[in-house]
């Protein structure tokens, strides 16, 4: 059974969906004013691994990720460029989707944008008002944490003596509050500023209310899992809990899961610190997205800090290559009849242990340890000629099971194709055509021409696959 470490109870909890067979997952998404950096992608990759494991274990998963498309920096840029919010954010939303695809991250089922849910936020704020949990101050409408006695449970912070501004994000909401930790639900804006005319007056929503309104609109008032990086615990998620539960009176979320940070030279990778790399930077420097995916998702457990170094990226590249080469070797193996024997036992045990590692709070690094130990033994069996068709099938099933979570092989195939010269690419296409037409003479002729160019081709159940000779 899948268990996850829950930040609220501070222990591992079983994943038991509120609705039988259907897991509802909300993950905090990007503020779309620049390209996300690979620290952000550590969060999105942890969530992708979670999503993939959930999809292996449960019949249905609904995954929602918000896009924060109204916020101080976005507004500042829009004003500076003389553009609308939509014009300002569209290129960054596009860039975000491109990077998700480049890293093989499964798309969420919904990407609600804050600007499209302002009505829902207004309703939620009104509901909180009816329950006496809000007040008006100079800057707008605030949530009164005095109305929510269990405030601070998630982060373990006491209601009194807390320092506001722990995340930097609350600074802009500081004016006119009764309690230092009360936070803005709605910010008044002047007639010339970007904002919405609503029943609350002219203004725009605070950051925290977005996630409460959008998650509850798409997943219901209570749902299963909510994720983000550890910097989201306070104040963002603490505030989400307070305003959601104060409005509905029911528990907001079953399990809270948070990933630790990607760091560079001892500091959190962050836009504000200027110590960040984007995926595009790394690819321009010659990195492969498959290696970046491996580094961020599979080398260190998601609840431990990960240090970004060129050496770690290099080792990830090698791990990916070893895994892909093993797959290639199995696919190229001539079928030989037999009853399976030790290779089948080896593969089945590795699958069991890999699954168990993931069930234990998504321990993909431990799972990969199991996989590479099995690969070493399987390679020795292959060297000795001891793998028949049944063994090959079992080992391929292992590779498939692992990559359903690891997600690097489709990236490797894409990267290899991109590395081909136009001539080789054309010959491969022609050969695929010839095979589709069952023209074996032509197909073999092209194979020889490819071999002369240093490219070998093998035919696999999923089509031809090339490699350098």
For ligand AMP, the binding residues (CB under 6 A) are 28, 30-31, 39-40, 42-43, 228-229, 231-232, 259, 261-262, 268-270
How many residues bind Zn ion (CB under 5 A)? The answer is 2
Joined together, the tokens standing for residue 378 give 């399987």
- 209 contributes a contact to Zn ion by CB under 5 A: no
Residue 229 touches which of Zn ion, ligand AMP, none (CB < 5 to 8 A by kind)?
A: ligand AMP
Q: Which residue in the block uniquely carries the two structure tokens 């509120």?
A: 18
Neighbouring CB atoms inside 10 A of 397's CB total 14
Q: Which one-letter DSSP state was computed for residue 255?
A: E
> 132 exposed, middle or buried (CB, 10 Å; 0-12, 13-18, 19+)?
exposed
Residue 212 touches which of ligand AMP, Zn ion, none (CB < 5 to 8 A by kind)?
A: none
* Shortest distance in whole angstroms from residue 5 CB to ligand AMP: 16
Q: Could you write out the three-class secondary structure of 283-334?
A: HHCCCCHHHHHHHHHHCCCCCCCEECCHHHHHHHHHHHHHHHHHHHHHHCCC
Select 211 or 374, whichever has its Cβ closest to Zn ion.
211
- 347 contributes a contact to Zn ion by CB under 5 A: no
User: Distance (Å, rounded) from C-alpha 317 to C-alpha 292?
Assistant: 8
* Shortest distance in whole angstroms from residue 211 CB to Zn ion: 3
Joined together, the tokens standing for residue 427 give 């010959």
Residue 195 touches which of Zn ion, ligand AMP, none (CB < 5 to 8 A by kind)?
A: none
User: Distance (Å, rounded) from C-alpha 177 to C-alpha 195?
Assistant: 21
Q: Please, which of residues 15-54 interact with Zn ion by CB under 5 A?
A: 28
- 64 contributes a contact to Zn ion by CB under 5 A: no
- Per-residue interface string for the shown chain with Zn ion, residues 155-194, x marking contact by CB under 5 A: ----------------------------------------
Select 65 or 122, whichever has its Cβ closest to ligand AMP.
65
Residue 443 touches which of Zn ion, ligand AMP, none (CB < 5 to 8 A by kind)?
A: none
Q: Judge whether 23 and 61 are in contact, CB under 8 Å.
A: yes
User: Distance (Å, rounded) from C-alpha 298 to C-alpha 139?
Assistant: 45
| Residue among 189, 239, 230, 323 at smallest CA distance from 7 | 230
Q: Which residue in the block uniquely carries the two structure tokens 């994720």?
A: 227
* Shortest distance in whole angstroms from residue 229 CB to ligand AMP: 2
Give, in order, the Cα–Cα distances in Å from 65 to each of 85, 146, 160, 451: 19, 30, 32, 47
Helix, strand and coil percent figures for the chain, each rounded to 5: 50, 20, 30
Select 229 or 289, whichever has its Cβ closest to ligand AMP.
229
Select 140 or 228, whichever has its Cβ closest to ligand AMP.
228
Select 166 or 432, whichever has its Cβ closest to ligand AMP.
166
Residue 407 touches which of ligand AMP, Zn ion, none (CB < 5 to 8 A by kind)?
A: none
* Sign of the alpha-carbon torsion through 118, 124, 125, 127: positive
Select 39 or 391, whichever has its Cβ closest to ligand AMP.
39
Residue 231 touches which of ligand AMP, Zn ion, none (CB < 5 to 8 A by kind)?
A: ligand AMP
Select 68 or 443, whichever has its Cβ closest to ligand AMP.
68
* Shortest distance in whole angstroms from residue 157 CB to ligand AMP: 17
User: Distance (Å, rounded) from C-alpha 37 to C-alpha 33?
Assistant: 12
Select 185 or 306, whichever has its Cβ closest to ligand AMP.
306
* Shortest distance in whole angstroms from residue 163 CB to ligand AMP: 19
Residue nearest to ligand AMP (CB): 229
Residue 95 touches which of Zn ion, ligand AMP, none (CB < 5 to 8 A by kind)?
A: none
Phi first, then psi: give them for residue 81, nearest 5 degrees. Answer: -90, -5
Contact region with Zn ion (CB under 5 A), list: 104-112, 113-121, 204-212, 216-224: 204-212
Select 92 or 148, whichever has its Cβ closest to ligand AMP.
92
Give, in order, the Cα–Cα distances in Å from 279 to each of 66, 99, 100, 287, 292: 21, 7, 10, 9, 8
Residue 211 touches which of ligand AMP, Zn ion, none (CB < 5 to 8 A by kind)?
A: Zn ion
358: left (phi over 0), alpha (psi -120 to 50) or beta: alpha
Phi first, then psi: give them for residue 37, nearest 5 degrees. Answer: -100, 175
Select 32 or 411, whichever has its Cβ closest to Zn ion.
32
* Shortest distance in whole angstroms from residue 160 CB to Zn ion: 25
> 284 exposed, middle or buried (CB, 10 Å; 0-12, 13-18, 19+)?
exposed
- 211 contributes a contact to Zn ion by CB under 5 A: yes
Residue 63 touches which of Zn ion, ligand AMP, none (CB < 5 to 8 A by kind)?
A: none
Select 195 or 229, whichever has its Cβ closest to ligand AMP.
229
* Shortest distance in whole angstroms from residue 74 CB to ligand AMP: 12
Task: Please report how many Cα atoms fall inside a 13 Å half-sphere around the Cα of residue 253, on the Cβ side.
Answer: 27
* Shortest distance in whole angstroms from residue 411 CB to ligand AMP: 20
Neighbouring CB atoms inside 10 A of 316's CB total 23
Q: Please, which of residues 74-93 interact with Zn ion by CB under 5 A?
A: none
- 217 contributes a contact to Zn ion by CB under 5 A: no
* Shortest distance in whole angstroms from residue 40 CB to ligand AMP: 4
Helix axes 238-248, 118-130, angle to 10 degrees: 60
Q: Are strands 183-188 and 140-143 parallel, antiparallel or unpaired?
A: antiparallel
Chain positions contacting Zn ion, by CB under 5 A:
28, 211
């Amino acid at each position: 059974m899948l268990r996850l470490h829950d930040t609220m109870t501070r222990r591992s909890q079983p994943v038991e969906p509120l609705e039988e067979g259907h897991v509802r997952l909300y993950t905090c998404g990007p503020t779309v004013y620049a390209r996300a950096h690979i620290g952000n992608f550590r969060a999105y990759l942890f969530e992708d691994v979670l999503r993939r494991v959930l999809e292996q274990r449960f019949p249905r998963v609904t995954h929602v990720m918000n896009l924060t498309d109204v916020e101080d920096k976005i507004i500042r840029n829009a004003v500076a460029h003389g553009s609308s919010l939509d014009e300002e954010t569209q290129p960054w939303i596009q860039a975000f989707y491109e990077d998700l695809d480049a890293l093989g991250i499964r798309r969420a089922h919904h990407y609600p944008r804050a600007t499209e849910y302002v009505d829902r936020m207004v309703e939620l704020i009104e509901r909180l008002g009816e329950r006496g949990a809000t007040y008006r101050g100079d800057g707008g409408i605030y949530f009164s944490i005095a109305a929510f006695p269990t405030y601070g449970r998630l982060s373990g912070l006491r209601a009194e003596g807390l320092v506001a501004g722990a995340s930097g994000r609350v600074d802009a909401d500081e004016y006119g509050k009764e309690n230092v930790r009360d936070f803005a639900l709605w910010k008044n804006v002047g007639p010339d500023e970007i904002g919405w005319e609503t029943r609350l007056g002219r203004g725009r929503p605070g950051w925290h209310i977005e996630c409460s309104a959008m998650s509850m609109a798409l997943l219901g008032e209570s749902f299963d899992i909510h994720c983000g990086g550890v910097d989201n615990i306070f104040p963002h998620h603490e505030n989400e809990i307070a305003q959601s539960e104060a409005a509905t009176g029911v528990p907001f979320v079953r399990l809270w899961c948070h990933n630790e940070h990607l760091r560079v030279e001892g500091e959190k990778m962050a836009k504000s610190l200027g110590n960040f790399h984007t995926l595009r930077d790394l690819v321009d420097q010659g990195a492969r997205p498959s290696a970046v995916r491996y580094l961020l998702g599979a080398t260190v457990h998601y609840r431990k800090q990960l240090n970004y170094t060129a050496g770690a990226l290099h080792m990830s590249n090698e791990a990916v290559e070893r895994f892909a080469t093993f797959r290639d070797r199995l696919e190229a193996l001539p079928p030989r009849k037999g009853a399976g024997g030790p290779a089948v036992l080896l593969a089945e045990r590795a699958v069991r242990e890999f699954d168990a590692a993931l069930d234990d709070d998504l321990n993909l690094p431990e799972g990969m340890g199991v996989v590479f130990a099995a690969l070493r033994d399987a390679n020795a069996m292959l060297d000795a000629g001891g793998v028949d068709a049944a063994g090959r099938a079992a080992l391929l099933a292992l590779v498939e099971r692992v990559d359903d979570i690891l997600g690097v092989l489709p990236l490797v195939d894409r990267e290899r194709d991109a590395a081909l010269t136009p001539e080789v690419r054309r010959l491969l296409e022609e050969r695929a055509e010839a095979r589709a037409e069952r023209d074996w003479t032509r197909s073999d002729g092209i194979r020889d021409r490819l071999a002369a160019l240093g490219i070998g081709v093998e035919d696999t159940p999923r089509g031809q696959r090339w490699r350098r000779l």
